[in-house]
């Protein structure tokens, strides 16, 4: 499996999970500022993040290089529909609600890393479509703000006087 940007990759090791992950599936969240690609490799969840914006060439290169290894691509995020539509004939594709994906991901990490259920929580995500989810039984998007990922990356750039890539 190809990694989009090695320096912006997080790996979460899961040796004791009972979940059988499909090795031929990838998740791609295409936001306004950041694009995240997640897949399973060698008992690890690999999460790669990059500032792609409207240029999808890196994602398309990733999908094209891995077309013989991938069967399913799950898309989410504000710009996901473009690539979902483009690749729906090449792969089995799904368009997933990003708020539901956030909660399912948190539940999975709690159950497989902390060995307990996700407690009742107020989940706030920061992106260029900041969201607040208040109830995991009924996922409800309470609102949002455009002051998200792009804003915070720009603010960090100003504070630390260096480009964040």
Give catalytic residues, as residue numbers.
98
Q: Using CA atoms, how far apart are residues 108 and 118, in angstroms rounded to an integer?
A: 8
Secondary structure class of 123 (helix, strand, coil): strand
Within 13 Å of residue 28, how many CA atoms lie on the same side as its CB? Answer: 26
| DSSP string over 12-46 | EE-SS------TTEEEEEE-SS-EEEEEEETTEEE
Displacement of CA 35 from its chain's centroid (Å): 7
Contact at 8 Å (CB) between 101 and 152?
no
Contacts of 155 (CB under 8 A, 6+ apart): none
């Amino acid at each position: 499996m190809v990694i989009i940007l090695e320096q912006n990759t997080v790996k979460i090791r899961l040796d004791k999970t009972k979940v059988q992950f499909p090795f031929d599936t990838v998740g791609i969240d295409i936001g306004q500022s950041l694009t995240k690609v997640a897949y399973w490799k060698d008992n690890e969840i690999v999460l790669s993040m990059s500032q792609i914006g409207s240029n999808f060439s890196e994602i398309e290169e990733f999908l094209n290089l891995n077309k013989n290894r991938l069967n399913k691509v799950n898309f989410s995020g504000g710009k996901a529909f473009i690539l979902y539509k483009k690749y729906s004939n090449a792969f089995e594709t799904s368009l997933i609600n990003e708020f539901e994906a956030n909660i399912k991901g948190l539940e999975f990490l709690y159950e497989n890393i902390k060995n307990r259920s996700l407690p009742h929580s107020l989940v706030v995500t920061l992106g260029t479509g900041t969201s607040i989810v208040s109830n995991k039984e009924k996922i409800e998007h309470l609102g949002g703000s455009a002051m998200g990922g792009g804003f915070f990356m720009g603010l960090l750039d100003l504070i630390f006087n260096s480009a964040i890539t």
